[in-house]
């Protein structure tokens, strides 16, 4: 099958053993890993028309990854053909599509299928799913809906009545012709700093609305030479070596970020030097210099952001936005700036994903209701007490700013596949993580986070929830997460057995059942 061949969507089954919601890096990875472990009875429900998740959706100009591709890829599908050190969105999307087609799991995908509700039915011990294609049930539910999937739109008075093109960076309107247009970009996060330089030559003017200046570091991006690509393809071990080198180099950042924030000062010096060399205008230098410790918010890497801001036809506006009036954005000082298009690059609903409203556990409460008291909490970022047979990929405190999320996803996948295998081999039909185990796990996480730069660095970031808790980031070396998730720890769970497993129960081979 050609790599770009169209996918054929399957019918929604009435029941499946395992339902996976979403087919980005995590959901597709789950499908491939389950298939390899010999599980055939699963279905992937994907609201889009192909695999790829965030890399399918974020098609804004300049979109690229901040983690080198030799690390930001599946360990089971290393790619010797990456064309450059930091791949662009089209190349990553193409990679994921190719993995999906080659792994032979697309025949278990239902595309264009949005899950609107998932309710655990205790009496039947299964999940009942409502989807845009109808209803179905599943014994096990894997939530792979992603943390960066639901665009967050700014609540600016009048913006809905704006007289021009208006879209989010993650929902780029490719029909909107920006040639020669006056454009406003709201936000200066990872997406904005890529798209502004990419459209700067096309448009006549850009107003960039900055609420908080980000810290920037150099981007060591370059095309691979032909010799390097030949070596990646032909010399055994070179790809793995490259990957290990990138992994080790990135992991050293954890020492400063999580353990000793004072060490981050060295990065600040590099970033300040970058501002001095890349911007001529002293007033602009002042505006782009952050007022918090580097690392507190995600550190960004770019070589074209400051030069773009320094251009004649690009203005950085730091007065807050008051409203949108007709075709003008009005700042709090009363200045109105006319534009033809507004691009909102304001990030995603991470700690308040709409999917949390749709998943209801054994007491009927949604994940949002459960998370309302203390914020998002899970065990090993994967299971949540009161939500039997649910596994969440990229769940609470599994996020990273410095290295590859694919590494965390594959760690979770080890754990989930081992859990499913364990359930099958022991005749267990229901697992639910013990509340005391989950609480102890989270207390330890928060203790580790307390001294980190994300908590002490003096910034507000999407890493923190409404309670000020950091429920998004993993606060340690990632190999420690890999170690924690190597095996499914049945003792941490309350379990129920299949009726057919009564013999095993009589023999006492299953621990902790109720």
- Does 34 bind ligand NAP (CB under 6 A)? Our answer is no
- Does 92 bind ligand NAP (CB under 6 A)? Our answer is no
Find the shortest distance in angstroms from Cβ 287 to ligand NAP.
Answer: 13
> Residue 294 and residue 266: Cα distance in Å, rounded?
9
Backbone angles phi, psi at 95, to 5 degrees: -60, -45
Binding segment toward ligand NAP, per CB under 6 A, in 191-199, 200-208, 219-227, 331-339:
191-199
Which listed residue (12, 129, 186, 420) binds ligand NAP by CB under 6 A? 186
C-beta atoms surrounding 49 within 10 Å: 12
Phi-psi region of 186 (alpha: psi -120 to 50; beta: other; left: phi over 0): beta
- Please tell me whether residue 407 adopts helix, strand or coil conformation: helix
DSSP structure string for 68-87 = -TTTSS-TTS--TT--BSS-
Distance of CA 260 to the CA centre of its chain: 26
Closest CB to ligand NAP: residue number:
189
Binding segment toward ligand NAP, per CB under 6 A, in 138-146, 205-213, 225-233, 284-292:
205-213
- Does 189 bind ligand NAP (CB under 6 A)? Our answer is yes
Which listed residue (26, 69, 73, 191) binds ligand NAP by CB under 6 A? 191
Q: Residue 75: CA atoms inside 13 Å, Cβ hemisphere, count?
A: 15
- Does 182 bind ligand NAP (CB under 6 A)? Our answer is no
What one-character DSSP code corresponds to residue 437?
A: H
What one-character DSSP code corresponds to residue 211?
A: S
- Does 192 bind ligand NAP (CB under 6 A)? Our answer is yes
Which listed residue (50, 66, 94, 207) binds ligand NAP by CB under 6 A? 66
- Does 330 bind ligand NAP (CB under 6 A)? Our answer is no
> Residue 289 and residue 272: Cα distance in Å, rounded?
8
CB of 115 within 8 A of CB of 22?
Answer: no
> Residue 170 and residue 54: Cα distance in Å, rounded?
8
- Does 295 bind ligand NAP (CB under 6 A)? Our answer is no
Nearer to ligand NAP, 211 or 434 (CB): 211
Find the shortest distance in angstroms from Cβ 95 to ligand NAP.
Answer: 15
Which listed residue (7, 64, 390, 420) binds ligand NAP by CB under 6 A? 64
Binding segment toward ligand NAP, per CB under 6 A, in 32-40, 181-189, 240-248, 425-433:
181-189
- Does 343 bind ligand NAP (CB under 6 A)? Our answer is no
Q: Which long-range contacts (CB under 8 A, 24 or more apart) does 286-292 make?
A: 287/210, 287/213, 287/316, 287/318, 288/210, 288/213, 288/316, 289/213, 290/212, 290/213, 290/214, 290/215, 290/459, 291/213, 291/458, 292/457, 292/458, 292/459
Which listed residue (224, 387, 462, 488) binds ligand NAP by CB under 6 A? 462
Find the shortest distance in angstroms from Cβ 60 to ligand NAP.
Answer: 8
Residues that bind ligand NAP (CB under 6 A): 64-66, 148, 154, 169, 186-192, 194, 209, 211-212, 298, 321, 345-348, 462
């Amino acid at each position: 099958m050609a790599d770009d061949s169209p996918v054929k969507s399957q019918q929604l089954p009435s029941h499946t053993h395992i339902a996976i919601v979403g087919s980005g890096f995590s959901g597709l990875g789950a499908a491939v890993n389950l298939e390899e472990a010999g599980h055939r009875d699963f279905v992937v429900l994907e609201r889009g028309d192909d695999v790829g998740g965030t890399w399918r959706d974020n098609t804004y100009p300049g979109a690229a990854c901040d983690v080198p591709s030799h690390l930001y890829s599946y360990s089971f599908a290393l790619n010797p053909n990456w064309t450059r050190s930091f791949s662009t969105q089209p190349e990553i999307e193409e990679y994921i599509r190719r993995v999906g087609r080659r792994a032979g799991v697309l025949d278990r995908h239902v595309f264009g299928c949005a899950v609107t509700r998932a309710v655990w039915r205790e009496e039947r011990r299964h999940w009942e799913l409502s989807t845009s294609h109808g209803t179905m049930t599943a014994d096990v539910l894997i939530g792979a809906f992603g943390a960066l999937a639901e665009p967050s739109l700014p609540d600016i008075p009048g913006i809905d009545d704006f007289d021009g093109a208006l879209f989010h960076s993650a929902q780029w309107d490719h029909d909107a012709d920006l040639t020669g247009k006056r454009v406003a970009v709201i936000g200066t996060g990872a997406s904005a700093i890529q798209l502004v330089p990419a459209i700067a030559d096309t448009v006549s003017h850009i107003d960039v609305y900055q609420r908080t200046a980000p810290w920037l570091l150099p981007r060591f991006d370059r095309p691979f030479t032909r010799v390097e690509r030949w070596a990646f393809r032909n010399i055994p071990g070179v790809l793995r070596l490259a990957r290990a080198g990138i992994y080790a180099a990135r992991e050293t950042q954890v020492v400063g970020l999580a353990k000793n924030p004072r060490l981050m000062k060295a990065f600040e010096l590099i970033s300040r030097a970058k501002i001095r060399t890349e911007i001529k205008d002293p007033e602009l230098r002042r505006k782009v210099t952050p007022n918090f410790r580097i690392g507190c918010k995600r550190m960004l890497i770019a070589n074209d952001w400051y030069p773009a801001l320094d251009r004649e036809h690009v203005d950085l506006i730091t007065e807050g936005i008051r409203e949108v009036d007709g075709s003008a954005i009005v700042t709090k000082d009363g200045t109105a700036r006319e534009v033809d298009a507004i691009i909102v690059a304001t990030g995603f609903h991470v700690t308040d994903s709409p999917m949390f409203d749709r998943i209801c556990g054994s007491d009927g409460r949604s994940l949002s209701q459960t998370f309302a008291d203390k914020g998002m909490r899970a065990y090993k970022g994967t299971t949540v007490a009161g939500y039997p047979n649910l596994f969440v990929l990229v769940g609470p405190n599994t996020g990273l700013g410095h290295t590859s999320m694919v590494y965390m996803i594959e760690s979770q996948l080890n754990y989930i596949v081992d859990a499913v295998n364990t359930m099958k081999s022991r005749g267990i039909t229901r697992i639910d993580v013990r509340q005391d185990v989950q609480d102890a796990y989270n207390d330890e996480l928060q203790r580790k986070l307390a001294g980190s730069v994300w908590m002490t660095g003096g910034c507000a970031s999407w890493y923190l929830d409404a309670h000020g808790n950091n429920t998004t980031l993993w606060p340690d070396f990632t190999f420690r997460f890999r170690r924690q998730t190597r095996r499914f720890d049945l003792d941490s769970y309350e379990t129920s057995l299949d009726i057919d497993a009564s013999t095993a129960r009589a023999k006492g081979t299953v621990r902790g059942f109720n």
